Amino acid sequence: MTDILRTSIDVAAVRNRFSSLRGFAFLDAPGGSQVPDEVGEAIARALREASANLGAGYATSLRVAEILEQAEHKAARFLGCEPHEVIFGPNMTSLNFMLSRTAGRGFRPGDEILVSSLDHDGGVAPWLELAYDAGLVVRHVELNDDTTLDFDDLARKLGPRTRVVAFAWASNAIGTIVDARRVCQLAHDAGALAWIDAVHYAAHEPIDVRDIGADVLICSPYKFCGPHLGLAYGRAEVIERWRPYKARPAPTIPLGRRFETGTQPYELLAGFSATIDYLESIGGFAAVVPYERSLGQRFLDGISDAVTVYGLPGMDGRVPTFLLNVDGVAAEDVARRLAVAQIGVWAHDSWYSLGLYKRLGYDGKSVRVGFIHYNTDEEVDRLIEALEGLRRT
């Protein structure tokens, strides 16, 4: 069925670590992944043993400090940076609003921000709001017909007033991957910051911020089997020049912490560290990537022409996220009937990708299917059979 190599990942053993994976096929990883039991246990343990704040000399406060430092080090390993370049927040969108406002203190009316037409609005709206307040200009980089980024259009729109090139590394709607290293290089050649929304990419591919040349990168652990958090990288040489929005008595070292407002959710940071341990214990992305790609290829090989998949036709240049419609069946009916069959997918119109939505050619809504490493061949086959059966009932 597929020539994509499989790995020795033990999916049955992986699934045994998730109490939620019992019968129901969760195929909506783009909307949020399931969480292994050990992550929940780490969160509960932190609430029992570390219900305190930083700075005191008693045991629970010292434990909080350990949790924060451990989370910073594990985040740095995950991102390929230094611990003092890690910034935590409540979610990607909140971090993006905060960091864009912080960076924008140095911008002037008429300065330009480039965003991608592939982006989730969490990567666009913060720049639109900043532009509204500060007199900036936001320009959209176009896409090729196959939904890949139009690098010629990017090159044309870069100019002396470009301050930021912001883009999604992978589309949350259709799974298309952007050549991040190439975008970052073009941004830097123009004297602009390279600002990456890696929320969808981080669940499926390894990240090395140094290798691609990112200045800012933001992702969300709940997309890769962790708790609801925002996680950001800020290149030290960039963010050390920024004046943070900060309560004045709060500490400003290490560097990344100066951009964290208020008390952090230490119990969720403990859960985040357990998430990184979990991913490493199953072989990391060296195991995850080929396995997930095989699931995606199995799906593409198994569906008929009655299922329209939007975006790239194969697994090259994408992660295993698929936007589709079934001939003659409304998207909401597809999602509802699959739920009855114990298969979880979602129907929506724009998928918060407002620059992409109208380009795909469907009216109303579509169905999104997203595989992740705890899904199985059998679940893919169940989905294919259910989709094909919808037209016959």
Instruction: Say whether pLDDT at 392 is over 70.
Output: no
CB atoms within 10 A of CB 191: 12
Same domain, 27 and 98: no
- Would you say residue 6 lies in a domain? no
Same domain, 74 and 114: yes
Mean pLDDT of 314-338: 97
* Measured distance CA(212)–CA(148) in Å, rounded: 18
- Would you say residue 369 lies in a domain? yes
* Measured distance CA(157)–CA(139) in Å, rounded: 8
- For residue 260, what are the β-bridge partners? none
306: CATH: 3.90.1150.10
- Give me the chain's average pLDDT, please: 95
Of all helices (H) and strands (E), which one includes residue 202? none
pLDDT of 304 reads 95
Q: Which pLDDT tens digit goes with each residue over 212-256?
A: 999 999 999 999 999 999 999 999 999 999 999 988 877 778 999
Same domain, 53 and 24: no
Domain hosting 336: range is 11-31+284-390
Cβ–Cβ < 8 Å for 288, 4: no
pLDDT of 249 reads 77
User: Which of 226, 254, 279 corresponds to the end of one domain?
Assistant: 279
Q: What global pTM score does this model have?
A: 0.95
pLDDT of 7 reads 52
Residues 6+ apart with CB under 8 A from 310: 147, 174, 323, 324, 360, 361, 362, 366
- Would you say residue 1 lies in a domain? no
Same domain, 151 and 223: yes
Side chain identity, residue 355: G
- For residue 166, what are the β-bridge partners? 115, 195
- Would you say residue 3 lies in a domain? no
Tokens of residue 164, six digits: 């930021």
- For residue 210, what are the β-bridge partners? none
- Would you say residue 376 lies in a domain? yes
175: CATH: 3.40.640.10
Maximal CA-CA distance, the chain? 68
Same domain, 307 and 368: yes
Q: Which pLDDT tens digit goes with each residue over 23-45?
A: 899 999 999 999 999 999 999 99
Tally of domains in the chain: 2
* Measured distance CA(206)–CA(284) in Å, rounded: 8
Same domain, 65 and 145: yes
Give ∠ CA 255-257-259 in degrees, rounded to 5.
Answer: 95
Same domain, 85 and 131: yes
Instruction: Say whether pLDDT at 46 is over 50.
Output: yes
DSSP secondary structure of 4-31: SPP----HHHHHTT-TT-SS-EE-BGGG
Instruction: Say whether pLDDT at 12 is over 60.
Output: yes
Side chain identity, residue 286: A
User: Which of 264, 279, 294 corresponds to the end of one domain?
Assistant: 279
- Would you say residue 92 lies in a domain? yes
* Measured distance CA(200)–CA(393) in Å, rounded: 34
Same domain, 112 and 19: no
* Measured distance CA(294)–CA(5) in Å, rounded: 7
- Would you say residue 103 lies in a domain? yes
pLDDT band for 371, please (50, 70, 90 cuts): very high
- Would you say residue 234 lies in a domain? yes
In the chain, what is the straight-line distance between the N-terminal and C-terminal CA atoms, in Å?
A: 28
Pairing, β 193-197 against β 162-168 = parallel
Same domain, 273 and 289: no
pLDDT band for 6, please (50, 70, 90 cuts): very low
Same domain, 196 and 329: no
Same domain, 176 and 62: yes
User: Which of 240, 262, 279 corresponds to the end of one domain?
Assistant: 279
Same domain, 173 and 297: no
Instruction: Say whether pLDDT at 4 is over 70.
Output: no
